């Protein structure tokens, strides 16, 4: 699926995309050998839309201003900065992150999300 495939009035399967994974930067990996892949779906009204996926493992990240919806998989997100309670993610979870948040993602089942940045 590409941005061109998102024709108004049609449906696309974000769960069936094959995403090319690459290892996460070694400096971010806390445990395991997680990989991640993404597919840009285009920009709509100034908002980037795409699908992102991470395989099992633990990795740190510095977030962008983002809203996402989990399509599949399981994970826990711990907040290092600011200090907030951890959240558990599964299909249907909707989350808002803000730019600069430092998080640690513990993915136990390959996590796939649709994101808006």
Flag whether pLDDT at 104 surpasses 60: yes
Domain residues of the chain, as ranges? 19-116
Using CA atoms, how far apart are residues 31 and 50, in angstroms rounded to an integer?
A: 26
CB–CB of 86/78 below 8 Å? yes
pLDDT in tens, 15-29: 889 999 999 999 999
CB–CB of 107/44 below 8 Å? no
Model confidence at 10, in pLDDT bands (50, 70, 90)?
confident
pLDDT in tens, 66-87: 999 999 999 999 999 999 999 9
The hierarchical CATH code for the domain 19-116 is: 2.60.120.10
Flag whether pLDDT at 2 surpasses 70: no
Q: What three-state secondary structure class fits 5? A: helix
Q: Given its phi and psi angles, is residue 90 left (phi above 0), alpha (psi -120 to 50 degrees) or beta?
A: beta
CB–CB of 31/54 below 8 Å? no
């Amino acid at each position: 699926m590409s941005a061109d495939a998102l024709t108004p009035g049609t449906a696309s399967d974000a769960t069936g995309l094959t995403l090319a994974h690459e290892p996460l930067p070694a400096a971010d990996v806390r445990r395991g050998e997680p990989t991640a892949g993404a597919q840009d779906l285009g920009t709509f009204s100034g908002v980037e839309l795409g699908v992102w996926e991470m395989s099992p493992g633990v990795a740190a990240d510095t977030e962008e201003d983002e809203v996402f919806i989990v399509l599949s998989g399981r994970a826990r997100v711990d907040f290092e900065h600011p200090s907030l309670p951890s959240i558990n993610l599964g299909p249907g979870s909707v989350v808002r992150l803000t730019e600069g948040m430092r998080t640690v993602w513990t993915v136990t089942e390959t996590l796939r999300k649709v994101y808006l940045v």
